[in-house]
Structure 1
Amino acid sequence: MKRLILIALLFCISKVSITYAQETIGKPNVIVIVSDDAGYADFGCYGGKEIPTPNIDALAKSGTLFTDAYVSASVCAPSRAGILTGMYQQRFGFEHNVSKLPVAPYTQEDVGMDIDIKTIGNQMQHNGYHTIALGKWHMGDDARYFPLQRGFDEFYGFVGGHRDFFGYKGQAPSPTQALYDNDKIVPESEVTYLTDMLTDRAVSFVKANAQQPFFMYLAYNAVHTPMNAKQELLDKFSHITNPERRAYAAMMASLDEGVGALVDALKKQNIYDNTLIVFINDNGAATNNSADNGKLRGLKGSKWEGGTRVAYIMQYPNYIPAGKKYHKMVSGLDIMPTAVGAANGQLIAGQITDGKNLLPYINGKIKKAPHSDLFWRRGIAAAVRSGKWKLIRSGDTNPVLLFNLEKDISETKNLANSHQGKVKKLLRKLEAWEKTIEQPRWLSPYGDHNQVMKHRMEMIGREMETQYP
């Protein structure tokens, strides 16, 4: 009798374990890691040699690396709005970084991500996930844009576009720079080094939620300015003579260590194999942080490849091929539908989605490219990539620029005069896309002049571009 009872008990435990395993396989954990202003050529898996990034490289080795990956804007806030919603952010007027320049009839309270738009947090909650946003938010300063109001059960980070990595003396200079733990402000005396603190909170969240499906949006502010680095890592890179580049390298090392610690936590909780990890950089290398875009022309804020083409990796054991490079065009807009697709979930009805679930494309079930065309606009400057062709339009005083990216990834030869038919076709595509979007609800304090100057063929190199942020 005792033996029969034991067998029955073991059978029940086994059945529960199998059921839980089936449920978790059906709902994998999803982690989206965003780095800030990193250089395309500064990641080892993208050819970087100077700064070791072994943990980010390991994601690429265990997953798929995208060579032709883009974000939907070349500056922080609109790029993140595209990632968070899966739709061109211009559809709801989010064309520029948040500013103090609303366009009538909108007011300062309207400067932020439209509250009627569903975020990836909302989408994952809708599909049974516990959600957290960590790090940089930058989706608007008003209380209604706060992460806890936008689809996230937990928040640990700051709402503005930047802050110091070390604690401020006294209080943070502004509420947007304060560090929040949910709706409570963390005393600055408790701030040690922010990259590490975000990692620690991410690890503790994994431990606390290992038995339920979770979604994590981990938006590091590394390697955005200010160039704050830990002394021990500055010492590690003492061979780099440029002090700003040395600080950048040390900050990259902290970022990479954070990725490694998070992956280790997943493995220790035995949920690594059931977790989709996405890594993406928010835009190209900044003009002011010594990041390196390598052979890509241009920097943050521009429509050159160096402004919008980014490092982008997806890893999901047994579902995404390991060690593969995917060469078709993909976008940060694809992250939201891919997350919902991995969860075998349903999108909330009533909202346009411009992104695609990349899983069937990566796995080879769908052979065609996820996108035939991608579009960008920030003020007077706009661009379209269609197949191998890229067109940039930046006002009446600049000529239209056309490049064949397969032959000229560094955008050195303007082919507009010799391919006028292609120019007309791409301009029509760009104009048709612009009819589907709103005019900006607020403007950039830099105005259109900088955008015109950035996109002149003679504008080459960091020294020149720094004049026009």
Structure 2
Amino acid sequence: MMSVALLLRFSACAMAQQDAVLRKKNPGFSKPNVIVIVSDDAGYADFGCYGGSQIPTPNIDAIAGKGTRFTDAYVSASVCAPSRAGILTGRYQQRFGFEHNTSTKVAKGYQVSDVGMDPAERTIGNEMQDNGYRTIAIGKWHQGEEKKHFPLKRGFDEFYGFTGGHRDFFAYKGKRNQETALYDNMDIVPETKITYLTDMFTDKASAFIEKNKNNPFFMYLSYNAVHTPMNARKDLMDRFAGIPDSGRRAYAAMMTSLDDGVGRVLKTIKDNGLEDNTLVIFINDNGGATGNSSDNGALRGMKGSKWEGGIRVAMMMKWPGHIPVNKTYSQPVISLDILPTAVAAGKGRQKGTKKLDGLNLLPYLSPGNKNIPHEALYWRRGVAAAVRSGNWKLIRVKENVLLFDLSKDLSEQHNLSEKHPEKVKNLSALLSRWEKGLDQPHWYSTYGDENQIKKHRMEVKGREMERLYP
């Protein structure tokens, strides 16, 4: 059997040969462009390539069709801000105190001005900049409101978006908060210029590609669709008139805007002759939310929970000649893998000195590589924590411990903790060992711990009950 080191070396050689072929065809070929597209609060089963049938998502599905779709992809948090902190840093965000969504409930020793991604952490923007890329962040930021947290201070040459966790998709007619202002770099876009946010983010992404087509670029395209408020374009609402529930109808219209936007970005890449030299990664930020009519399908739970419906997400990537086409990958991976994968794709080196928790996925996607990327994956937010190792998953909420075999029980209906005490012991030890490397939260959730306790009770079953605990 080929050793791991030899297999990884073989994969690297194969990729180098593919690069040489592309350079011969296109003398201008250099570092690949990298685009990371993030959707917000979408349901796991609302994408066509994940079994969705009610809402067509042909453009997002095309990323999977031309690349690899991950069946067991996770994010590092089940709510927006810490999930994004993990994506941006490649590290479990609890290592630097970003355990909860941003709030004003600061921990002892910290101030409200500390709420946000620690400036001492390097981002994917920093890494790509240092490896010769022009960088832009578009859309939702949600990483702090102080100047030190602003995207232009965090590794991005350009920023077009808003700094908070949500805002109206249409223009505000009255007063709005500072965190909902739409920024074009340091300038605030007047509300009179705002049409429909999803379309505007797409326009900016397409323009950036056109402008930078001759040089390597990195784009973090963080749509706020389909997060609340449920603001949909009327023409798309009319298209889904057959859906009786108005909330679900608005959700379908917003998903269509998102998918159309992704399609336009992909078309811009293709029209500029960049398709073969662009790595595209798509990921949803957490499970479908309790208030936006999303559908997590067979997965139990929703946004905010440690159930699969809170942390398992749609994720896919394509890069012609480097990533297998129309394939599925079933080993557990996590959003933390995006940063090292992007850096490796550009033949770059991580300039930061802190150890990443994510890893480069490209070698693992090579045909014949049977190695498992992660021994275990971990989660914690307040009193609720979880670990997955192989097919086994443990959820710990204070003294309550739940154990599931995901290979036989994807919907987490059967708690096996009493039948397998040794497995509980082993997974609990893994979780405790991981927690020793974490910082204490620098601020706390506005919901408190009681909500986490309630939503992880075995008797909370069915969407109606799950939606009671956001």
Give the TM-score, by structure 1 length: 0.94
SS of the residue aligned with 1:298? Answer: coil
- Contact 1:24–1:213 (CA<8 Å) still a contact in 2? no
- Contact 1:24–1:212 (CA<8 Å) still a contact in 2? no
Alignment partners' CA distance in 2, 1:168 and 1:405: 45
Report the AA paired with residue 158 of structure 2: E
Alignment partners' CA distance in 1, 2:226 and 2:62: 20
Please report how far the alpha carbon of residue 104 of structure 1 lies from its aligned counterpart in structure 2 after TM superposition: 1.4
- Which residue of the partner structure matches residue 409 of structure 2? 408
Mark the CA change 1:432 to 1:22 in structure 2 (over 3 Å): closer, same or farther. Answer: farther
Percent identical residues: 62
Alignment partners' CA distance in 2, 1:359 and 1:22: 24
345, 350, 356: which is aligned to 2:348? 345
Please report how far the alpha carbon of residue 367 of structure 1 lies from its aligned counterpart in structure 2 after TM superposition: 2.3
Report the AA paired with residue 47 of structure 2: F
Post-superposition Cα deviations, 1:252-274, rounded to whole Å, max 9, x if no partner, equal: 00000000000000011101110
Report the AA paired with residue 94 of structure 2: Q
137, 148, 164: which is aligned to 1:144? 148
Alignment partners' CA distance in 2, 1:335 and 1:460: 33
Please report how far the alpha carbon of residue 21 of structure 1 lies from its aligned counterpart in structure 2 after TM superposition: 4.4
Please report how far the alpha carbon of residue 467 of structure 1 lies from its aligned counterpart in structure 2 after TM superposition: 2.2
Structure ID, larger Rg: 1
Equivalences for 1:372-383 in 2 at 5 Å? Answer: 372-383=375-386
SS of the residue aligned with 1:157? Answer: strand
Q: Does 1:24 align with 2:24?
A: no
Equivalences for 1:173-322 in 2 at 5 Å? Answer: 173-322=176-325
Alignment partners' CA distance in 1, 2:183 and 2:117: 19
Report the AA paired with residue 409 of structure 1: L
- Which residue of the partner structure matches residue 328 of structure 2? 325
Alignment partners' CA distance in 1, 2:265 and 2:35: 10
Alignment partners' CA distance in 2, 1:74 and 1:367: 29
Q: Does 1:422 align with 2:404?
A: no
SS of the residue aligned with 2:145? Answer: coil
- Which residue of the partner structure matches residue 54 of structure 1? 58
Report the AA paired with residue 214 of structure 1: F
Please report how far the alpha carbon of residue 18 of structure 1 lies from its aligned counterpart in structure 2 after TM superposition: 6.0
When structure 1 is superposed on structure 2, of 121-130 and 363-372 the one drifting more is: 363-372
Report the AA paired with residue 282 of structure 1: D
SS of the residue aligned with 1:264? Answer: helix
Alignment partners' CA distance in 1, 2:27 and 2:304: 45
- Contact 2:127–2:352 (CA<8 Å) still a contact in 1? no
- Contact 1:31–1:215 (CA<8 Å) still a contact in 2? yes
Alignment partners' CA distance in 2, 1:152 and 1:18: 28
Post-superposition Cα deviations, 1:160-182, rounded to whole Å, max 9, x if no partner, equal: 000000000145x1110000000
Please report how far the alpha carbon of residue 366 of structure 1 lies from its aligned counterpart in structure 2 after TM superposition: 3.9
- Contact 1:170–1:189 (CA<8 Å) still a contact in 2? no
Alignment partners' CA distance in 2, 1:413 and 1:295: 14
Alignment partners' CA distance in 1, 2:206 and 2:279: 16
Alignment partners' CA distance in 2, 1:165 and 1:157: 12
**Misfit runs of 4+, over 4 Å:** 17-23
- Which residue of the partner structure matches residue 436 of structure 2? 435
- Contact 1:222–1:251 (CA<8 Å) still a contact in 2? yes
CA RMSD between the two structures: 1.3
Alignment partners' CA distance in 1, 2:29 and 2:442: 41
- Contact 2:122–2:352 (CA<8 Å) still a contact in 1? no
Alignment partners' CA distance in 1, 2:33 and 2:411: 38
Report the AA paired with residue 433 of structure 2: A
SS of the residue aligned with 1:24? Answer: coil
- Which residue of the partner structure matches residue 3 of structure 1? none
Report the AA paired with residue 213 of structure 2: A
- Which residue of the partner structure matches residue 117 of structure 1? 121
- Which residue of the partner structure matches residue 12 of structure 1? none
Alignment partners' CA distance in 1, 2:352 and 2:408: 42
Report the AA paired with residue 339 of structure 1: A
Alignment partners' CA distance in 1, 2:449 and 2:333: 28
Alignment partners' CA distance in 2, 1:452 and 1:60: 36
Post-superposition Cα deviations, 1:385-406, rounded to whole Å, max 9, x if no partner, equal: 000000000013xx31000000
- Contact 2:33–2:218 (CA<8 Å) still a contact in 1? yes
Alignment partners' CA distance in 1, 2:456 and 2:303: 12
Q: Does 1:367 align with 2:370?
A: yes
Alignment partners' CA distance in 2, 1:250 and 1:359: 34
Q: What are the ranges of 5 or more consecutive residues in structure 1 without an aligned counterpart?
A: 1-16
Q: What are the ranges of 5 or more consecutive residues in structure 2 without an aligned counterpart?
A: 1-21
- Which residue of the partner structure matches residue 38 of structure 2? 34
The number of residues matched between the two structures is 449
Give the TM-score, by structure 2 length: 0.94
Mark the CA change 1:366 to 1:347 in structure 2 (over 3 Å): closer, same or farther. Answer: farther
Alignment partners' CA distance in 1, 2:27 and 2:423: 51
Post-superposition Cα deviations, 1:137-156, rounded to whole Å, max 9, x if no partner, equal: 00011111000000000000
- Which residue of the partner structure matches residue 14 of structure 1? none
